[in-house]
Homo-oligomer: A and B are copies of this chain.
Amino acid sequence: MAQKDTVDRILDAAEALFAERGFAETSLRTITSTANVNLAAVNYHFGSKKSLIQAVFVRFLEPLADSLSDRLDAAQADGQELSLDDLLSLLASAILSAHGEDDVNRTASFMRLLGLAYTQSQGHLRDYLRDRYGSVSTRYVDLLRPACPQLEDTDLFWNTHFALGAAVFSLSNYGALDAMLKDDSGQESRIMNVIKRLLAFISAGVQVSVKV
A residues sitting closer than 8 Å to B (CB atoms) are 20-22, 24-25, 112, 115-116, 118-121, 126, 153-155, 157-159, 161-170, 172-173, 176-177, 181, 184-185, 187, 189, 193-194, 196-198, 200-208, 210, 212
Q: Could you list 15 examples of A-B contacts with CB < 8 Å? A: A115-B119, A118-B169, A118-B173, A119-B172, A154-B189, A158-B194, A162-B170, A162-B201, A165-B167, A165-B168, A196-B210, A196-B212, A197-B210, A203-B208, A204-B207
Nearest CB on B from A13, distance (A): 17
Nearest CB on B from A174, distance (A): 10
Instruction: Say which residue of B24, B121, B161, B212 sits within 8 Å of A170 (CB atoms).
Output: B161
Nearest CB on B from A196, distance (A): 6
B165-A170 in contact (CB<8A): yes
Give Cα A200 to B211, complex, Å: 11
Give Cα A187 to B154, complex, Å: 9
Known: A166-B166, A204-B204. 12 other contacts (CB 8 A): A20-B121, A21-B121, A118-B169, A119-B119, A119-B173, A126-B176, A162-B169, A162-B170, A162-B198, A162-B201, A166-B205, A196-B210
Name the residue of chain B whose CB is nearest to the CB of A25. B24
Name the residue of chain B whose CB is nearest to the CB of A21. B121
Give Cα A168 to B158, complex, Å: 13
Give Cα A155 to B198, complex, Å: 10
Give Cα A153 to B194, complex, Å: 14
Nearest CB on B from A88, distance (A): 13
Give Cα A145 to B115, complex, Å: 29
Name the residue of chain B whose CB is nearest to the CB of A212. B193
Give Cα A20 to B169, complex, Å: 19
Give Cα A194 to B176, complex, Å: 29
B212-A205 in contact (CB<8A): no
A204-B208 in contact (CB<8A): yes
Q: Which residues of B sit under 8 angstroms from A168, Cβ to Cβ?
A: 165, 169
